[in-house]
Amino acid sequence: MGSMIIDGKTVEFNGETNILQVIRKAGIDLPTFCYHSELSVYGACRMCIVEVDGRGINASCHTPPEEGMTIKTNTMELRKIRRNALELLLANHNRECTTCERNSTCKLQDLAQRFGVRDVRFGERDVKAPIDTSSPALVRDPNKCILCGDCVRMCKEVQGIGVLDFANRGSKMVVTPAFNKSIGDVDCVNCGQCAAVCPTGALVVKSHVDKAWEAIYDQKTTVVVQVAPAVRVAIGEEFGITGGRSTIGQIATALRQIGADKVFDTSFAADLTVLEESREFIERFSEKKNIPQFTSCCPAWVKFVEQYYPDYMDHLSSCRSPQQMFGSIVKRYYARETGIAREDMFVISVMPCTAKKFEAERDEFKIDNNPDVDLVLTTQELARMIKEAGIDFAELEPTSMDMPFGFATGAGIIFGVTGGVSEAVLRQAHEVISKKELTNVVFKEVRGQAGVRAVETQIDGITVRLAIVHGLANAGRLLEQMKAGEVSYDLVEVMACPGGCVGGAGQPISFSASEIRSERGKGLYREDQLQQLHKAQQNPMLNDFYQKWLQSPGSAEAHEALHTHYGSRRRIDGEAISVNEFDSAPIEIQVCVGTSCYLKGSVNLLKLLTKKIKDEGYEEQVKLRAAFCCQQCAGGPMVIIDDKVIGKVSGDRINEIVQLIKDKLRVSAS
């Protein structure tokens, strides 16, 4: 605690870690590119410089507050340095603002405007780097990157992955995935958080607005729209409605005005998920099988497990996410009910999420190549369409959603905030296990903003241990602790985005993320309160639906339509390492040295195998390769002989492989 003088005013500080925070608290909006309160301090952009009496010019994000400091934030020299820095950034930046996705939400544009930069005295960059559109969720335009490193730190520190990093140096420096690969060819989980912190248009969410219009304009197609819970408390921000106020009624009106044929609520499918997932949980819990159960609503988290924790695949709930459950029931049952052919129905999701774009494209969710969900729009994209259509959103008369899938309970609505899925499942599990009515539906202990919340709760005298996690770095740490036997849980809820879906990268862009996120979260809890029903099992539309099509949760039909199975996944595409030089040998053997097999000792296995083959005199008949991940990690170490895949190969199975080689050679000889 203490005080300092900022621009002549005395300002108290208390716990702030740098003077930038104190200055902003004093109401001065000091410019920054590379500072984010939730990431480590990088101190590279120099926009936040201030003059500290007796110490000269310092980066305020880097300087801890001290008693009695005297600080000036606005002097002739500071202004000159900032403007110069801005001009240098602009010189290296592709300045096609009018056609940029981030036009009007770009920090560089905003600051150039604020500082009145009217002329860039330095030349433009002459070579244009290619734009990377390989990812289903993101577009990367290196020509707009200002090297602030925000995305690098976000992906490393919050998501624990490290897809992006700096490469090269000097004037050639870039921020790029490994080996300059496309972002779609590496271990990106499509969470989009890097794009959410990027101050410019260098990383943006891939837009599908044009495709949405096409479907809407096509008279033959019936456009069915689902709206995720978190969208309703955020889209208003684009139209001056703040404070996490729900605008679900306006969204319904706007969508109809735009041309949607049916407007439904993803929260209905979330209610459906609650019933399926708690049934699954109760079964696993009582059999002590694949416990802890991991939630599977977040596609970024699912991909994370597929890539890094193949041995925990069976712990993922087999439930599809609410988005995919919705797509499935609409195209299976609603199509039948309304007599519209699957191909003539076009399902659009409006999501707070970028990873949902990836999820909708997964093969698991297609029938005869026709996807259950045809297109995913983010909250931002829907806002853009509303603006494009010239609709005055704030003044719209609210209308209600269409039936039957427009009816949701509070349980389905709180899915959009961290802890919501757990709470919704608890509301159901309590009644099933205790066979008594649950009167107090609020589980305060699972709510909150801490990155990992461990909770023990009693259901009818039985203790259930929950962990609620947001941010994949937190999830990774938790899994490591589980592996090491330091912690154990029964149910683990994970959302990749900070704050849960309300903090999704598809939500309106804001540079004070954490406050806005918590407002949106509160908005969802308020919505829950306002509903008449708070438990998924009370949803009358859902109960009718079960009766008509699925019988009961967990039935064979429900499994077919609502559940799935995920497999392990390679982290990075690339070539295998040649282990010997017999490239034209008749037999090819690949030993997997991807992370999982590596940890299971595949390198040693390869060594033994090489020696054995040599000792037996087959050396020149076999081309040996060390490959990176054959996507069957749980069965590792994996060996592939031509196209035969053998799993769980240990040292004592080497003879078996040699026998296979002999057989093959005999066959080809005869």
Partner 1 sequence: MTQAALSNEVSVLDWLSSVIEQHGTKPSSLIPILQEVQKQHRYLPEELLTYIATAMNLSPATVYGVATFYAQFSLAPKGKYIIKVCDGTACHVRKAMPVYEALRKRVRLVDGKSTTDNKRYTVETVSCLGACGLAPVVTINDRVYGQVTPDAICLIIDELEKEEGDQA
Q: Is 44 in the site for ligand FES (CB under 6 A)?
A: yes
**Which of the listed partners (ligand FES, partner 1, ligand SF4, none) does 610 bind, with a CB threshold of 5 to 8 Å by partner kind?**
partner 1
CB contact at 8 A, 539 and 271? yes
Residue closer to ligand SF4 (CB basis): 6 or 34: 34
580 binding partner (options partner 1, ligand FES, ligand SF4, none; Cβ < 5 to 8 Å by kind): partner 1
32 contributes a contact to ligand FES by CB under 6 A = yes
| 3-state SS, residue 57 | strand
Note whether 304 binds partner 1 by CB under 8 A. no
Give a three-class secondary structure readout of 28-44: CCCCCCCCCCCCCCCCC
Between 7 and 619, name the residue whose CB sits nearer to partner 1: 619
The nearer residue to partner 1, 164 or 335, going by C-beta atoms, is 164
Q: How far is the CB of 439 from partner 1 (least distance, A)?
A: 49
Q: Quickly list DSSP for 163-227.
A: -EEEES-GGG-EEEEGGG--GGGTT-----HHHHH-SSTTEEEPP-HHHHHHHHH-TT-EEEEEE
Q: 78 and 57 in contact (C-beta within 8 Å)? A: yes
Asked if residue 46 binds ligand FES (CB under 6 A), the reply is yes
Residues 145 to 174 in contact with partner 1, rule: CB under 8 A: 156, 161-169
Distance of CA 564 to the CA centre of its chain: 19
The reply on whether position 52 binds ligand SF4 by CB under 6 A is no
Q: Does 33 bind ligand FES (CB under 6 A)?
A: yes
Helix axes 248-258, 379-388, angle to 10 degrees: 50
Report how far residue 563's alpha carbon sits from residue 283's, in angstroms, rounded to the nearest whole number.
15
Q: Sign of the CA dihedral 257, 259, 262, 265?
A: negative
Count the residues of the shown chain that bind partner 1, applying the rule CB under 8 A: 38
The reply on whether position 193 binds partner 1 by CB under 8 A is no
Helices (H), strands (E): how many in the chain?
22, 24
Smallest gap from Cβ 173 to partner 1, in A, equals 9
Q: Which of 23, 30, 52, 186 binds partner 1 (CB under 8 A)?
A: 186
Judged by CB under 6 A, the residue of 19, 61, 154, 298 near ligand SF4 is: 154
Question: Which listed option, partner 1, ligand SF4, ligand FES, none, makes contact with residue 43 (CB within 5 to 8 Å by class)?
Answer: ligand FES
The residues assigned a catalytic role are 277, 280, 297, 317, 356, 359, 364, 501
Closest CA to 152 of 142, 140, 141, 166: 166
What SS3 class is residue 478?
helix
* Residues 60-79 as x/- pattern, contact with ligand FES by CB under 6 A: -x------------------
Helix (H, G, I), strand (E, B) or coil at 12: strand
- List 106, 189, 216, 351, residue binding ligand SF4 (CB under 6 A): 189
Helix H or strand E encompassing 475: helix 472-483
Closer CB to partner 1, residue 578 or residue 655?
578
Q: Is the peptide bond before 310 cis (omega within 30 degrees of 0)?
A: no
Q: Are 602 and 637 in contact (CB under 8 A)?
A: yes
Rounded Cα gap, residues 10 and 566, in angstroms: 58
Residue 405 interacts with, from ligand FES, partner 1, ligand SF4, none (CB under 5-8 Å by kind): none
Q: Does residue number 309 form part of the binding site for partner 1 (CB under 8 A)?
A: no
**Tell me, what amino acid is at 176?**
T
Residue type present at position 60: S
Binding characters for partner 1, 587-616, by CB under 8 A (x = yes): ------xxx--x----x--xx--x------
Cβ 539 to ligand FES, closest distance in Å?
Answer: 48
The only residue of 23, 146, 441, 502 in contact with ligand SF4, by rule CB under 6 A: 146
Examine residue 539 and tell whether it contacts ligand FES (CB under 6 A).
no
Tokens found for residue 593: 């040295």
465 binds, among partner 1, ligand SF4, ligand FES, none (CB under 5 to 8 A by kind): none
Closest by CA to 23, choosing from 87, 58, 146, is: 58
| Residue whose entry in the numeric block shows the structure tokens 């008369």 | 397
CB-nearer residue toward ligand SF4: 150 or 527: 150
Comparing CA positions, the residue from 342, 315, 341, 306 lying closest to residue 327 is 342
Smaller CB separation from partner 1, 108 or 593: 593
Please report, as residue ranges, which positions from 331 to 350 form the binding site for ligand FES (by CB under 6 A).
Answer: none
Q: At what angle do helices 107-114 and 76-91 cross, to 10 degrees?
A: 140
Residue whose entry in the numeric block shows the structure tokens 């639906």? 545
Query: What does 45 bind: ligand SF4, ligand FES, partner 1, none (CB cut-off 5 to 8 Å by kind)?
Result: ligand FES
Neighbours of 630 (CB within 10 A): 20
Helices (H), 92-183: 107-114, 150-153
Which parts of this chain interact with partner 1 (CB under 8 A)? 156, 161-169, 176-180, 186-187, 571-572, 574-581, 593-595, 598, 603, 606-607, 610, 624, 626, 628
Which parts of this chain interact with ligand SF4 (CB under 6 A)? 138, 145-151, 154-155, 159, 161, 163-164, 175, 188-194, 197-200, 202-203
Which parts of this chain interact with ligand FES (CB under 6 A)? 32-35, 43-48, 59, 61
